[in-house]
Structure 1
Amino acid sequence: MLKVTLEQWRMFKAVVEHGGFNQASAQIHKSQSSIHNAVNKIETALGVKLFRVEGRKTILTAAGELMLRRVEYLLEEAAKVETIGANLAEGIETKLRIAIDEIFPAHLLYRVLDKVSHEFPFLRIELVESVLNGANEQLQNANVDIAVSAFTLEGLFSEELCQIEFLAVASPQHALHQSGRALTLEDLKSHRQIVVRDSAVSKSHDSGWLQASQRWTVSHMRTSIDMIKSGFGFAWLPVPLIEKELQNGELVALNLQSGRTRQAQLHLTFVDGDSLGPAARTFLGELRYQSMIMPTTQNSEVD
């Protein structure tokens, strides 16, 4: 059993905030005797002196200063508990789990998550970054509430979210840039291709592999980008993820006769829209909005 109630701690804090017992009484609409009684009970229960009086000033003792720091944290946590309880009563979820393909522009995703967190400050967000079928597998296994994937799931609600452009690139020093002519897909097969592994376990899928004589398979898109920048191979990479590298010349588009660019359609998938809470619906709405205003990369911008 606790020796001191939250209400007594609130009165103690009010005395500190407002500079004295009289001032606290006027601000929190409690009688001065009630506040004095609350502070006395704390001091008696804990065996410490919280205040000393100097003239007309009520000043914290060293013990009072230490207790104040702890009390402020205690009252903040109590307020959070009450807010979470109110949110639960209103049907607001406490956790949102999302699986999203790594090709979705990260800066847009961060905007969405930030907006959701501002509206629902006590929401815990769990983000699973995946490749190819990985997001849908997470959804099928009930590990997440929402998936953003390049593939649809039969029997579940899926909507087209946005298209991501991929561009065939290599470092400017790569041998593929030295031929002086337009390249064919057959030319590429004699060079190392960097491929990103499907993060799904049960249903993996190789996308974009040309049956090149050499293949390095990695788990993350950023690893692929770093390898290609270093001259270790070529790949089709999502333009939103390499805009900086294209602009500063670390990556250069391959001079292909055809097939230099590819398009991937991302889909937004969830099990049951009616079962999603307010935070999840806010996430969906903001994600749709950010995808809608996402600029379309023009080929002239990456030439």
Structure 2
Amino acid sequence: MNLKATLEQWRMFKAVVEAGGFNQAAEQVHKSQSSIHHAVQKLESALGLTLFFNEGRRVTLTEAGELMYRRACYLLDEAHKVESVANSLKSGVETYLRIAVDIIFPPEMLYKALNKVSQDYPLLRIELMETVLNGANTLLKEGEVDLGISPFPLNSGFSEDLCEIDFIAVAHPSHPLHALNRVLTLEDLKGHRQIVVRDSSTERKAESGWLGADQRWTVSHVRTSIDIIRQGLGFAWLPLAIIRNELETGVLKPLPLEQGGLRKALLFLCFADGDRLGPAARAFLGELRYQTMSLPSVESIAE
């Protein structure tokens, strides 16, 4: 079937919508105002639709224009993806890999996976972005990263279960909660300072594991939370794999909670389009899956 409109006409239409007028669009796409106007006129003629109302120097979308704009954005985005896939195929191995990783993922496993990929692809440049909660998926949606490890599945894209992270409620051995020398309830915790981690996403803000304690310190990284708790200044649910050394050496001590002392969070491996991933990215995914097979458990720590 022959298409009535070209990608360039759709691109000019989109530019006019987003710039608010033909003159403004001409400045942004570096074309003459007459050429943009002509492209949109041909588009309207081919479709048999009126896409704009003229309001002085500005234009407003008609109802049909609003629908066409949404579809045009999708069409142009897909066209860019097709070209990106072609570029990846042409170049063979990618030279740049951008990864967003939630801070609860065990860093040792991440470093091993990154090192293995760097050994196999020595010219690969890697950019690592540490995120919290919705942060990784926001970066994926904005096209800022190629891969993400996130506590949430990606709504538009690919997500697979990667691993389950155990969180354990802990405090310094000298913390007043340990001095109670009895089984604790969640109500006992509410009278003490809880350390929580802030969502790094710009879209939605949440806080990791907040109990609703009367006192709360909010930080941006799990390492900061660990440092504060090591000083005896609060309690928190922390990733077991990250505080394994502190537990083994007695710097941190699990709180004897009646229930809720252990929490679990599923991490997802996310990416927007698998066809755009090159061999280095795929090698990283495989190594990541291999590394997570040896995650520590509560039982292994107890032993």
Give the drift of 1:299: 3.9
Q: Residue in 1 aligned with 2:254? A: 253
**C-alpha distance in 1, partners of 2:172/2:109?**
26
Residues 10-159 of structure 1: pairs in structure 2 closer than 5 A: 89-159=90-160
Q: 1:194-249 CA distances to partner (integer Å, 9 max, x unpaired)?
A: 00111111112223111101000001100000000100100000001100100110
Check conservation: 1:132, 1:150, Cα contact below 8 A: yes
Change (3 A) 1:150 1:111: same
| Pairing 1:228–2:229 present | yes
**C-alpha distance in 2, partners of 1:233/1:302?**
23
**C-alpha distance in 2, partners of 1:300/1:184?**
25
**C-alpha distance in 2, partners of 1:295/1:206?**
25
Q: Residue in 1 aligned with 2:180? A: 179
Give the drift of 1:119: 1.0
Check conservation: 2:241, 2:295, Cα contact below 8 A: no
Check conservation: 2:165, 2:267, Cα contact below 8 A: yes
Give the drift of 1:295: 3.3
Give the drift of 1:274: 1.3
Structure 1 consecutive aligned stretches of length 4 or more whose deviation exceeds 2 Å: 87-90, 298-303
**C-alpha distance in 1, partners of 2:233/2:195?**
8
Q: Residue in 2 aligned with 1:38? A: none
- Amino acid of the structure 1 residue aligned with 2:172: S
Q: 1:167-187 CA distances to partner (integer Å, 9 max, x unpaired)?
A: 000000000001121100000
**C-alpha distance in 2, partners of 1:209/1:228?**
15
Q: Residue in 1 aligned with 2:22? A: none
- Amino acid of the structure 1 residue aligned with 2:277: L
Give the drift of 1:302: 4.0
**C-alpha distance in 2, partners of 1:295/1:269?**
20
- Amino acid of the structure 2 residue aligned with 1:266: L
Equivalent residue of 1:240, what SS? coil
Q: Residue in 2 aligned with 1:284? A: 285
Check conservation: 1:101, 1:149, Cα contact below 8 A: yes
Q: Residue in 2 aligned with 1:272? A: 273
Give the drift of 1:301: 2.4
Q: 1:82-123 CA distances to partner (integer Å, 9 max, x unpaired)?
A: xxxxx9855211100000011111111111111111111111
> TM (normalized to structure 1)?
0.69
Q: Residue in 1 aligned with 2:298? A: 298
Check conservation: 1:253, 1:302, Cα contact below 8 A: no
- Amino acid of the structure 2 residue aligned with 1:186: E
Q: What percentage of aligned pairs have identical amino acids? A: 57
Q: Residue in 2 aligned with 1:200? A: 201
Residue ranges of structure 2 left out of the alignment (5+ in a row) = 1-87
**C-alpha distance in 2, partners of 1:207/1:117?**
32
| Range that drifts further, 169-178 or 133-142 | 133-142
- Amino acid of the structure 1 residue aligned with 2:283: T
Q: 1:30-85 CA distances to partner (integer Å, 9 max, x unpaired)?
A: xxxxxxxxxxxxxxxxxxxxxxxxxxxxxxxxxxxxxxxxxxxxxxxxxxxxxxxx
Q: Residue in 2 aligned with 1:216? A: 217
> TM (normalized to structure 2)?
0.69
**C-alpha distance in 1, partners of 2:105/2:122?**
24
Which one has the largest radius of gyration?
Answer: 1
Check conservation: 2:240, 2:298, Cα contact below 8 A: no
Aligned residue pairs total 216
Check conservation: 1:246, 1:302, Cα contact below 8 A: no
**C-alpha distance in 1, partners of 2:273/2:89?**
19
**C-alpha distance in 1, partners of 2:119/2:90?**
20
Give the drift of 1:157: 0.6
Check conservation: 1:170, 1:251, Cα contact below 8 A: yes
**C-alpha distance in 1, partners of 2:295/2:150?**
20
